[in-house]
Structure 1
Amino acid sequence: MYEVAISVREGAISSSTLLKRLRSGSWKNATYTAFREVGRVIRTVHLLRYLSDAPLRRRVTAATNKVEAFNGFSQWLGFGNRGVLADNDPVEQEKAMKFNALLTNAVIFHNALDIAEIVRQLLKEGWTIEPEESAHISPYLTEHINRFGEYSTHELGIQPEAYDPKLDVDFTQLREENLTSEGFGRAA
């Protein structure tokens, strides 16, 4: 394995050529077998670390929940045909998926703008907004969205106000706590 790594580093064999050879999956190939076993060891080490490290499990669960929330929100927005891609053309399938991703991100951005405006209004009214409270607000809100549309054209000529990205909430403490709890602040 060291010889293979050195060969790749020195340019004696390209990584793409190596991957082509390993992709064949021949159990008779000693290099393939060695890399497969190393992969199994790495996977086992990660699994054991996951099982023994409660903070890691919490971080993985939180990240998984965020991804699942995004996917659920995206699927809710792309409700037509129950999410089934009816076209067998890969180009049309890619267009449909990209359109859904664009729509999802646009609605998330709109929700984030609305949330920021509400926070600004609360701050003006004298409310104290703690960073921990803000961290629990999700941009995957659906209650105010009418998927079937209600289109008003009289507002098309109205110029929107310029967006102010400043939000008077100090997230420094929350960021420092997250960095410490995720292990970024300590030596590996």
Structure 2
Amino acid sequence: MARALAMVIEGQSALPMAQFWGGGVTASSDGQFFLTTRQGEAMNLINAKYGHEPGLKAYTHVSDQFGPFATQTIPATVNEAPYILDGLLMTEAGRRVKEQYADTGGFTDHVFAVTALLGFQFIPRIRDLPSRRLYLFDPASSPKELKGLIGGKVKEPVISSNWPDILRSVATMVAGAMPPSQLLRKFAAYPRQHELAVALREIGRVERTLFIIDWLLDADMQRRAQIGLNKGEAHHALKNALRIGRQGEIRDRTTEGQHFHMAGLNLLAAIIIYWNTKHIGQAVAERRCATLDCSPNLLAHISPLGWAHILLTGEYRWPKR
């Protein structure tokens, strides 16, 4: 199924219409909650944020061209941040991404550190930004106007002494020896005195400080992040419509079955996006042949996520070959 998804994403990104939406170099990621059955071997958990029924999350990466190039099934109660790098490092489309957007639930200092070390520009939309503190190498040298915003001093010696282990950890992620989320969860679970986890946290504090400064000064960065996250939210709406006419739950009772259900739903959404992208492009070509206005600035705001013209009820058949 992963191979089929990669083929659809690659085909959609090659369509002329997709070029108006982006170059496949930015992406957003977010978790979407799905209700599940209470019975079965799958560990379905209750997250009070979503009500009193058990469920799971589908954590999906969506490119600037609207393609959902990666999705994972994760427990409803876990922190989403460790799973960001799985979609970026374990797919070809993810490795082309330069800017990655996420909501508040998608950031930790460890994620800031590792994304920077891997060359990704991580741009989360942080809730309660004024309450976040800045970390400096020399807090005493900061202007007096900023004293109230300084959270402390960066522990540079810890970073220096653990630098070889930091590089080995990052190389392990790049090599695909294990999912990056597995390593990040271990770092998050370590006690504070574990030096490697502390060193990554200190790097993350530096990167988070630089990001906050850039965010406050760069209105275009804020706009890009908002556009990227809006595409992810619109993608969630399409999946909500596809899951048995908007009112079904994930009834698979095994973890494997739930995974295949969510992967199939993501593939179906990608196929609809491909179909819409292709036919929107054909409509644009016909308008141009008729010498009608098709401004690129307007085409950039068209979305391939509509489903009003698609019959959502019925039977989906996947022929075996």
TM-score computed with the length of structure 1 as normaliser? 0.64
More strand as a share of residues: 2
Whether 1:133 and 2:298 are equivalent positions in the alignment is yes
Aligned to 1:100: 265
Answer yes or no: is 1:59 the counterpart of 2:224: yes
Which residue in 1 is equivalent to 2:47? none
% of aligned pairs identical? 28
For residue 5 of structure 1, what is the amino acid of its counterpart?
W
- Hey, what does 1:78 align to over in structure 2? 243
Larger displacement relative to structure 2 (134-143 or 70-79):
70-79
Alpha-carbon distance in structure 1 between the residues aligned to 2:263 and 2:195: 42
Residue of structure 2 equivalent to 1:5: 163
Structure 1 residues 8 and 126, CA gap change in structure 2 (3 angstroms): closer
Deviates more, 1:59-68 or 1:28-37: 28-37
Relative distance call for 1:126 and 1:35 in structure 2 (3 A) is: closer
Deviating beyond 6 angstroms after TM superposition, the runs of 4 or more aligned structure 1 residues are: none
Rounded Cα–Cα distance in structure 1 between residues aligned with 2:187 and 2:309: 52
- Measured in 1, the distance between the counterparts of 2:191 and 2:279 equals 56
3-state SS of 1:121 partner: helix
1:34-53 aligned within 5 A: 34-53=199-218
Return closer, same or farther for 1:28/1:34 CA change in 2, 3 Å cut-off: same
Letter in 2 for 1:73: L
Q: Give secondary structure in 1 for the equivalent of 2:192.
A: coil
| Structure showing greater relative contact order (alpha-carbon pairs closer than 8 Å, 6 or more residues apart) | 2
Structure 1 residues 47 and 76: alpha-carbon distance in aligned structure 2, compared to 1, 3 A threshold: farther
Once the 2 structures are TM-superposed, how far is the Cα of residue 124 of structure 1 from its aligned partner?
2.2
Q: What 5-or-longer segments of structure 2 have no aligned partner? A: 1-158, 174-182, 317-321
Structure 1, unaligned stretches of length 5 or more?
152-188
User: Which protein shows a greater Rg?
Assistant: 1
Q: Deviations over 1:102-158 (max 9, x none)?
A: 11111111111221221122122221322112111110112211212499xxxxxxx
TM-score calculated relative to the size of structure 2 = 0.40
More helix by share: 1
Counterpart of 1:33 (choices 198, 202, 205) is: 198
> Which letter does structure 2 place at the counterpart of 1:134?
L
Aligned-pair CA distance for 1:34: 3.5
Specify the alignment match of 1:179 in structure 2.
none
The answer as to 2:281 corresponding to 1:119 is no
